[in-house]
Chain A
Amino acid sequence: MFVTTDMQDGRSVRRVTVMQGQVYVGSGESEMLTTVLGSCIACCLYDPTAQVGGMNHFLLAEPNPGSGTIADQNYGIYLMELLINQMMTRGGVKSRMKAHIYGGANMHTGMARIGDANALFARNFLQDEAIPLVRHDTGGDSARRIEFDPVLGRTRCRIIEAAAAPVAKPVVRPKQVGGGDVELF
């Protein structure tokens, strides 16, 4: 997570960059959450009543069934739940949440259409969780820069040059340290 502070309209604004594998929920202060996406997905959730918003940034949808892979921070299935839970701890109510999803580009021809799979997963997840998808911009072959105001729930999505897109960090095994730690009392 990178945090920078600059002046906007005469007021100080924290700009929080949400990197691959991360979740950030607004602190309630004046902030702007940003990320740059290629095939990854960023989901922005917002509860307009609590004025709480947050963003995640995931690389893949979910592990293949039976693969024995833990659904860790690389996967949407985990980062979506983490985002919802962190929203709830800040006063968000799941039934009031609304979603935006961005990204899911297919950046390289000839490769598996990871972006499409990611976007489909995000849509299905939100449908299963009964969270309305109010705005989305996914697919294509271009990178995107996202800005999200977690207090007002406003997003801005811009197409940017592919060269500016982050190179998705590959999932290297073993890197799933600490997943499922058990502590018996």
Chain B
Amino acid sequence: MQYLLMLHLDETAWPQMTPAEQQQGAAAYAAFTEALSAQGALAGSNRLQPSSTATTVRLADGKPQVLDGPFADSKEQVGGYYLIDVPDLDAAIAWAARCPTASHGTVEIRPVWAMPA
């Protein structure tokens, strides 16, 4: 089964970190990605630019309404994701717990909507 691990974190923390801390942080994510990959569980992953770069679009009266900023303005934002392929929710929970985000933010696990074959 595929699960999307959405990494919710306080993105203001990163710029305040020293270069050494940033390097250490990035290395932790790289190691996590490597572990997922080595177990054959990684289906995709990306880090996202900060939410200040977000643009939201929706149609209002048939016309696209474009807004500067994220969909929901809250303290924690989606900073990245992992798409993983594992047997069940317990396996997904085990990976989410190892994800570095779990120690400074929140990992949301969402099963991917499986299309009928």
Q: Do A and B come from one complex?
A: no
B contacts, CB < 8 Å to A: none
A contacts, CB < 8 Å to B: none
